[in-house]
Amino acid sequence: MSLTSKTQGSQAESLLSKARTQSMSLNRIVSEQDAVSQAREAKTARLRELRLEKEAEDRVADAALAALPKQVGPKRTGKR
């Protein structure tokens, strides 16, 4: 085997190692982005659910206030 073959083989191994490292880094980054995206979607769904519950409670409270009889009594004037 000549020196050139060994050098070329070494360079090929180095390039392959570099490509593997880059691929692993890319896979890790994609996995992290997926995890962040899933967490964001879960938080958004939870917040939406809480907002809808509060809006429903507010509607019930508004309906209950509307159903109360109006207070009837003497009118107050600004004089004392």
pLDDT digits (tens, 9 = 90+) for 28-54: 999 999 999 999 999 999 999 999 999
Give the pLDDT confidence of 2-21 residue by residue, as tens digits: 567 888 889 999 999 999 99
Question: 73 lies in a domain?
Answer: no
Distance CA 40, CA 38 (A): 5
Question: 60 lies in a domain?
Answer: yes
Per the structure, how many domains does the chain have?
1
Q: Which domain holds residue 59?
A: 10-67
Distance CA 58, CA 50 (A): 12
**How distant is the alpha carbon of residue 75 from its chain centre?**
54
Question: 43 lies in a domain?
Answer: yes
Question: 79 lies in a domain?
Answer: no
Predicted confidence band at 79 (pLDDT cuts at 50, 70, 90)?
low
Question: 74 lies in a domain?
Answer: no
Question: 75 lies in a domain?
Answer: no
Give the model's pLDDT for residue 80. Answer: 56
Question: 1 lies in a domain?
Answer: no
Question: 49 lies in a domain?
Answer: yes
